[in-house]
Structure 1
Amino acid sequence: MKALTLWQPWASLVVAGAKPYEFRSWRAPRSIIGRRIVIHASARKVDGREVDQLRRLLAAGGRYAAQTCLTPIDVALAVLNGGDWPLAAGIGTAIVGEPRSGADIGADFGAINAVNDSDRHLHCNWGWPMENIELWPEPLAMRGAQGLWTWPTPEQVA
């Protein structure tokens, strides 16, 4: 199974069902569309400024909240205010849907500016739908990698 490493709190937002798209600068490879992948939380320390920015946009509501593409807002705020974001661990799985243009997704959400859920503006070209989410009962500690990588089998972990 392939894995995708996300910074926190975005990984937790995905598995909570509040981040329906993972934005990337590149289109998801055909080989993973319709396939289940592991959502892996990176070891990177959470950037409090990014979290505060998301909270402000969601609190502002309307088109400002829409530019984050986080929904439902109450679930997103609960994750952002909870602060329990595992690091360096697999936290669940999702099926990758057919990628969509970030501009099209933004229009669907009614965003006032280019849709983006972080300050990495070049990473919003493609939205990968995160569907049929499965939250794991406990995080599984694991070192990650950039891009798509292969999640080890239980035999490889042992």
Structure 2
Amino acid sequence: MRALTIRQPWAGAIAHQNKRVENRSWKLPAKHEGARILIHAGAAPDKNAIVYGPHLDVYSAVVAVATITECHWSEDGTCCGPWGFDRAYHWTLADVVALPEPVSTKGRLGIWTPGDDLIAAVEAQFSNAT
């Protein structure tokens, strides 16, 4: 399993507000299409973002798990509803599950490989919920 660090409030919007597209300046490597990933809220906020609601103040923690279903380029952003940016790669997400409790950890740039202890801590939340 891999992880992707996303600045707040975007990570929280993926976990709790039905944001199902991640806007990136770079194309998703084909080997990650269809992959299940951890959504990690970065240590710093996106100071240009305006999104309101709860769960947007968690930093340096895994907040959700999702599947990257595809990646496409969008000139005008309209293909992915209100969350899609102009002139960006849209990584579409599905099967998003917010964690009951965020799991604190440092993130990294790009798609990164979390340690076994982090994966175990995330998976424990799902096994404890059933």
- Asked if 1:140 is matched to 2:112, the reply is no
User: Greater shift after overlay, 91-100 or 146-155?
Assistant: 146-155
Structure 1 residue 15: Cα displacement: 1.2
**Residue identity opposite 1:23 in structure 2:** N
Q: Which residue in 2 is equivalent to 1:50?
A: 49
3-state DSSP of counterpart to 2:78: helix
Q: Which residue in 2 is equivalent to 1:88?
A: 60
User: Where in structure 2 are there 5+ consecutive unaligned residues?
Assistant: 122-130
Structure richer in strand, relative to its length:
2
User: Where in structure 1 are there 5+ consecutive unaligned residues?
Assistant: 55-79
- Asked if 1:129 is matched to 2:92, the reply is yes
In 1, the alpha carbon distance for the partners of 2:59 and 2:109 equals 15
Structure of greater Rg: 1
Q: Work out whether residues 23 and 102 of structure 1, in 8 Å CA contact, stay in contact via their aligned partners in 2.
A: no
Compared CA separation, residues 105 and 137, structure 1 to 2 (3 A)? same
Alignment deviations for residues 105-127 of structure 1 (CA, whole Å, 9 cap, x no partner) = 52464x8xxx52xxxx7xx4210
Count, aligned residues: 120
Pick 1 or 2: higher relative contact order, CA cutoff 8 A, min separation 6.
Answer: 1
Structure richer in helix, relative to its length:
1
Q: Work out whether residues 7 and 46 of structure 1, in 8 Å CA contact, stay in contact via their aligned partners in 2.
A: yes
Write out aligned runs for 1:1-158 (5 A). 1-45=1-45, 47=47, 50-51=49-50, 54=51, 80-82=52-54, 84-103=56-75, 105-107=77-79, 109=81, 115-116=84-85, 124-154=87-117
Compared CA separation, residues 102 and 138, structure 1 to 2 (3 A)? same
- Structural RMSD (CA): 2.7
Q: Work out whether residues 17 and 133 of structure 1, in 8 Å CA contact, stay in contact via their aligned partners in 2.
A: no
Q: Work out whether residues 95 and 133 of structure 1, in 8 Å CA contact, stay in contact via their aligned partners in 2.
A: yes
**Residue identity opposite 1:99 in structure 2:** C
Structure 1 residue 30: Cα displacement: 1.1
Structure 1 residue 34: Cα displacement: 0.5
